[in-house]
Each structure stands twice: as C-alpha cells, then as structure tokens.
Amino acid sequence: MRCFNYISETLSQDEIIHYQNSRLRETIHWAWAQNGFFRKRYTEAGLLRLHDFCNASDLVHIPFTNKVDFRDTYPLGMCCVERRLIREMHMSSGSTGSAIVMAYTAPDIEQWGECMARCYVMAGASEGDAVQITPSFGLFNGGFGMYHGAQSAGLFVIPTGSGNTERQIKLAKDFGTKILCGVVSYAIRIHEVMNAKGIELPDLKVGIFGAESFSEGMRKRIESQLGIEAFDIYGMTETGGVGTLGMDCQEHNGIHVWEDHYYIEIIDPVTGKNLPDGEQGELVVTSLSRQAIPVIRFRTGDLTKVISREKCACGRTHTRIAKIAGRTDDMLIVKGVNFFPQQVENALMEIPGVLPQYQIVIEETDGVRDVRINVEADESVTGYMIEKHLKERLGFSPKGDVFKPGELPRQEEGKAKRVIYKVNGQ
C-alpha cells in the first residue's frame, strides 16, 4: 500500500474520533473568538457558554451554515484571520447571486496541498510522474488546487489550463502525461479529437475528475476509451477546493473522506436530523484544520450516504461515502416521476452504441413540463431503443432524438451543460 501520509491515512477509528473531538472544540472556539458572524449566530442559538461544547455529539446544538451565509457576508465576512495573513483566494462563479469566496492562509494552502497529494498518490502517482492540469488557473479553485497537490506530491506539472484540445493532446504525447486532471466531460472531448486524429497516448494511465458528477456507466466508458483508470475526486469552494474532502481509491467502492481534516454528518434534508449510516441524505461538513474560513456544519446540498467506517481493502481507514447521487436542488420532476440527471446518464451508458454526449431538455409550456432526451449514437441505435430502455429504468417515456456523432454542441472548457430549460419554446 502506498500513501502520501501513511500514519494519518491509516489511523484507527478510535484515534480518528479522539482527534476529531479535540479539533472540533478548537474549531468552534476559534470561530467564536475570531469572527462576529459565528459569535452572533451561536449566541442567537442560545450557546452562551462555549466550554460546554465537549465532543461531536454536541454538534447538534450548533446551527447549520449554507451558501446563503457565504453570499450574505461577501467578500470576507466569515474570515477568522487578519487580512495581512491571507495568501490566496478563490471563488465560485456567483451565477445565482454574490460569489462565494474562500480565503487561504499559508497553513490553509499547505492543508489543501496535503489533501490533494493524498489523492494523487492514492490514484497511483509517483514522484516525477507527469500530471496535466486542464482546469483553468484563475478564480475557480480547480487548477490551483491540483497544482498545490502536485507540488506537495513531487509531480512534474504540465499546467495547460483549459481549452485548445489539439494542443492538450500534443503536450500529453510530447511530455508523456501519466495523469490527466479535469472534468469528465472534457475527457470525452479529448478522446473525440484523439480518435478523429488517430492519435494514441500510451503513457496516459490515470484520470482524476471532479467538479461535475458522473455515473458509474460514464466512468467505465471513459476508462475504456482512453485506456485509463478514472477516479472521482471531491471537494468544493466552501471546504477549501478540489480534493479537500477526498476521493475514491483503486477499489472504487466509495469516496474516502479525509476525516482528520473534516467531520461529516448525513442529515435528512427536510428535517435536518442526523441519519444512520447507510441511509441517503444531505452531506454536512465541518472543517477541522482550516484557519481563514472554517466551515462549521455546512450544508453542501449533495446527496450521499455512509458506506462503511471499516478499514478498506486498500488499507486506508477513513470513512467511505457513496458517490454523490445528485444535489437536493437537482431533482427533476416530470409527469409525476422524480429523477436525477445522473440516473439518466447511467441508463444511457447501458445502451450499446450510445455515445457520451447527451442533453436533457426540460420543456415547459403553460406550466406543463415534459422532457426531451437527445443523444449521439451510432447507426445501430434507434429512438425506440432509447425510449424503451429509459422507460424501464426511469418509469416514463421521454421524447428525444438520436443524433450522429459530433452533431450535439461541444464545450472546450468548463462543466458540460447537460440539463437545458426551455419555457414556452424559448
């Protein structure tokens, strides 16, 4: 077994619990002492004596935080350090309001690099391996997070950033890229161009994909097309960026959460009550080692469940959660049927001849919703085949069209836009 930090990644559950309780106390007290937002929130919740907070069981008395809190306190209203100690910042797009900002002290960047380096080594990276980082190097955290981790792990960084797919392929071939980092939809695009040009990348062995969820069917399709092993990396702006929460190991049986840096809860998204292991709910995260902006009982909106707290076959002991099934606000309701986009993707990838490019078009006319699913496929696939299979898997028959390879729109960078809304034909 190879680990970046063997001692931390193989702690016993008793050691993890002891460490978490200690760090939870420190984090709660730090936020109270350093920031008025947290102090006011806790006081309003009736927490007048913080020394009564003893361990994780007391977290139920701490109020939740969410994206709205970040937006309402833009830019640095939740920051717990002086401005002079901030060394870096990243932010979300702010497409639904004010942007969400994450600030970093030097130790925060070191923590980010540590978490991300664990992910690289868990995927099979060794010192000096070439890693090609395709997310942009800018306000979005993806590019820099993968860079910080690669530096910590001693990898050879090829910082291509996004776009210019032909150049991406040339650089991967010229420099022997072993690890490709990015979003899974861009890996699909890279394969399309490679296939059209008749190019192979014999050194490419690993794909680390984050920022957009993908089904198990899509993972297998990408692995087959690119000849790689694909990993699902997890992290978000609020937790400090890509890789901070964890990744699946080579067993591909759930995402290992770095429990020495984050404490997780699974709650009922409606009642807010904690759920037992094995039951799906909303993931709530509390950071244990971040200085500038520690998240405390942050409602991620992501749906998952605890798979196991036992030692994994890979040798790591940190809790495993299921792949993210969707978001609490991603559920689509059409003709009385509830489903998530990832369910559609998984069903499509089960059909021989269907390609990874697809669209889910939600059409609303005078308040009545319908769904159209457009896919690219080879000549052997008919619309009836797709409709029949989706009926069996989802419980209703969507409309849709089958397109020839290359006919649906492509994106050269960023997340793929899989769900499109049209109201009264617009």
Digit-coded pLDDT (tens) for 203-242? 999 999 998 888 888 899 999 999 999 999 999 999 999 9
139, 24: one domain: yes
Determine the pLDDT at residue 409: 85
What CATH number is associated with residue 404? 3.30.300.30
What CATH number is associated with residue 291? 3.40.50.12780
Determine the pLDDT at residue 372: 87
ω into residue 202 within 30 of 0, thus cis? no
320, 404: one domain: no
81, 101: one domain: yes
Determine the pLDDT at residue 365: 75
298, 206: one domain: yes
b/e 99-123 (16+ beta carbons within 10 angstroms → b)? bbbbbbbeebbebbbbbbbbbbbbb
25, 140: one domain: yes
Contact 24/288 with Cβ under 8 angstroms?
Answer: yes
287, 393: one domain: no
314, 356: one domain: no
319, 340: one domain: no
357, 298: one domain: no
- Tokens of residue 343, six digits: 């369910």
Residue 340 — pLDDT band, cuts 50, 70, 90?
confident
- Listed in sequence order, the residues at least 6 apart from 249 whose beta carbon sits closer than 8 Å to its beta carbon are 122, 256, 312, 314, 316
Q: Does residue 96 surpass a pLDDT of 60?
A: no
Q: Does residue 414 surpass a pLDDT of 80?
A: no
Digit-coded pLDDT (tens) for 371-406? 889 999 998 898 888 888 888 888 778 888 899 998
296, 353: one domain: no
Domain boundary among 289, 314, 329: 329
Determine the pLDDT at residue 343: 84
Domain boundary among 275, 306, 329: 329
Q: Does residue 338 surpass a pLDDT of 90?
A: no
Report the alpha-carbon angle 301-414-177, nearest 5.
Answer: 115
Q: Say if strands 320-321 and 306-308 run parallel, antiparallel, or are unpaired.
A: antiparallel
Ranking 118-132, 177-191, 318-332, 364-378 by mean pLDDT, the lowest is: 364-378
75, 133: one domain: yes
Q: What is the dihedral of CA 348, 338, 342, 327, to 10 degrees?
A: 170
Domain boundary among 279, 313, 329: 329
114, 137: one domain: yes
Determine the pLDDT at residue 94: 54
Number of domains in the chain: 2
d(CA 170, CA 99): 35
Range of the domain at 345: 332-423
**Better-predicted residue by pLDDT, 10 or 372:** 10
From the list 273, 386, 399, the residue with the least C-alpha distance to 334 is 399
From the list 306, 242, 241, the residue with the least C-alpha distance to 276 is 306
Digit-coded pLDDT (tens) for 156-210? 999 999 889 999 999 999 999 999 999 998 999 999 999 999 999 999 999 999 9
